[in-house]
Amino acid sequence: MAPPVMRAVPAPTAKVPAAKAPAAKAPRRRRGAGVREQRRLETRDRIVEAAAELFAERGFDAVSVVEIAQRAGVVEKTVFNHFPVKEGLVLSTDPPVRAALLDAVARRPAGESAAAAAGTFVVGAMAQLGAPEAAAGVAAMARVVRGSRTLQVREREILGELTAALAAQIREETGAPAGAVEPELTASAVTALYGRLLELARDRVLAGVSGPELAAELRTAGRRGLSLLQFGLAGYAKRR
């Protein structure tokens, strides 16, 4: 599972020559997709792969949409048909994880807090970045995002949108009155945990850590953060 704000952009591979679009790859068939839809998805794949290669080579800000289109073997308009804004090639504006997070909170059992349910979901999702096959993609994303002020700003905006969606759900469920701070504070704490785990994953993958070791580190850090969400900050960092 990709992290909440990230699109599952593949890492460039040495098998694809830098000067050619990855059109020679065997097309990935989608079960149940018609011919027209299959072609649309194949075109989208080529655009994403071309963008990933170019961003890895030169950075997000230095690459134009025209160059992405040329690498993918399509016209510029086709890129915009699939991705109305350039940032959408890297950061998903409506990540599927958002719906999954809200669903985890909505389906939590009696007696479990919204913070516990949301935090547990976040820790589990982020630990999946420890899968061996995820390492290259996470490292590539880290380099691209950290090399672009534009993407860093957009990532924070998407996290803010995720926070607002979670807060709205908690407010509706609890019937919190207008002006109550608890829904926003709860949602902000959860997304802050997510953001810290994401940065930790990026740091560690760029340092060469992946697989079970990374997954264990993310779970450990996540559980410490989750403990604060569940039991509060009253005992944390007391002056001695």
- pTM of the predicted model, to two decimals? 0.81
pLDDT at 160: 95
Radius of gyration from C-alpha coordinates of the chain: 20
Structure tokens at 152: 């860093």
Residues 6+ apart with CB under 8 A from 126: 3, 194, 197, 198, 201, 218, 222
Q: Where are the domains of the chain?
A: 22-89, 96-231
pLDDT at 50: 96
Q: Does domain 22-89 have CATH number 1.10.10.60?
A: yes
Mean pLDDT of 9-30: 40
pLDDT at 21: 32
**pLDDT of residue 54 exceeding 70:** yes
- pLDDT band of residue 16 (cuts 50, 70, 90) is very low
CA distance 97 to 104: 10
Mean per-residue pLDDT of the chain: 86
Q: Please tell me which of 4-8, 93-97, 233-237 the model is most confident about, judged by mean pLDDT.
A: 93-97
Mean pLDDT of 150-171: 95
Express each pLDDT in 63-110 by its tens digit.
999 999 999 999 999 999 999 999 999 998 777 889 999 999 999 998
- pLDDT band of residue 200 (cuts 50, 70, 90) is very high
Question: Which among 93, 84, 83 is positioned nearest to 52, based on CA atoms?
Answer: 83
Residue 238 buriedness (CB in 10 A; 0-12 / 13-18 / 19+): exposed
**pLDDT of residue 132 exceeding 80:** yes
pLDDT at 239: 54
- CATH top class, domain 96-231: mainly alpha
- pLDDT band of residue 154 (cuts 50, 70, 90) is very high
Express each pLDDT in 110-123 by its tens digit.
889 999 999 999 99
